[in-house]
Chains A and B, each alone.
Chain A
Amino acid sequence: DADVTQTPRNRITKTGKRIMLECSQTKGHDRMYWYRQDPGLGLRLIYYSFDVKDINKGEISDGYSVSRQAQAKFSLSLESAIPNQTALYFCATSAGLAGEETQYFGPGTRLLVL
């Protein structure tokens, strides 16, 4: 079984709709991250959480919100989806050991906003 899972794997929605992407992990890691990937732009960090009570904005947080429901769960919401939020979204986790921040990625959610 995968250590980091994302649901749904694919989603089509309309402009203005609220949607939620979910991430679960069984690695026991404290740190979790949400990224989006667009062709030619690499990975851009949306939000990250270093523990259950910690939420931090990343490079491109506008139009997004997150919830860290438990150590194992970190969800990303688009309050009112717009077409330029069409992208591939990845969740990742890391252990947060001193100086070593290896991240482990989920399989991604492909989102299309019409």
Chain B
Amino acid sequence: GEDVEQSLFLSVREGDSSVINCTYTDSSSTYLYWYKQEPGAGLQLLTYIFSNMDMKQDQRLTVLLNKKDKHLSLRIADTQTGDSAIYFCAESPNSGNTPLVFGKGTRLSVIA
């Protein structure tokens, strides 16, 4: 079945760039997502990328998609303490006919 893999932890210093990586399995996924979960809160959509794109930039966030390797990354420039959260990667398998498949989440810790 579909699977989304991401590392569980990442620690960076404030002001550095963070890169969170994700691999997915369904080549028919039309959209790939990044969600952010702050402590005590639900998941919030951070950004998403359509499968015919290689890159998407939104202020401090850059999403890179390598369809050949089924690899997705999220880069956060100038990481701030407020970026400390769990980041979930998700794919939309089966062209959107089945629910999103989420990774287990990467906990980003930002050290001041």
Interface residues of A (CB under 8 A from B): 4, 33, 40-43, 45, 48, 58, 90, 92, 94, 96-108
Closest to A99 in B: B30
CB-CB under 8 A for A40 and B42, given A99-B30, A99-B95, A101-B99: no
**Highest count of chain B CB atoms <10 Å: which of A97, A100, A101:** A101
Q: Which residue of B lies closest to A110 (CB)?
A: B40
- Scoring B residues 40 to 72 as 1 if CB is less than 8 Å from chain A, else 0, what string do you get? 011111001000000000000000000000000
Determine how close the nearest CB of chain B comes to the CB of A77; give it in whole angstroms: 20
Count how many chain B residues have C-beta atoms less than 8 Å from C-beta atoms of the other chain.
22
List the interface of chain B (C-beta within 8 A of A). Answer: 8, 30-31, 33, 35, 41-45, 48, 88, 90, 92, 95-96, 99-100, 102-105
Known: A43-B88, A101-B31, A102-B33. A58 touches B45 (CB 8 A): no
A58 to B100, CA, bound (A): 11
Please list the 8 inter-chain residue pairs (A to B) with the smallest Cβ-Cβ separation, ordered nearest first.
A42-B104, A99-B30, A105-B42, A99-B96, A105-B43, A101-B92, A43-B102, A101-B96
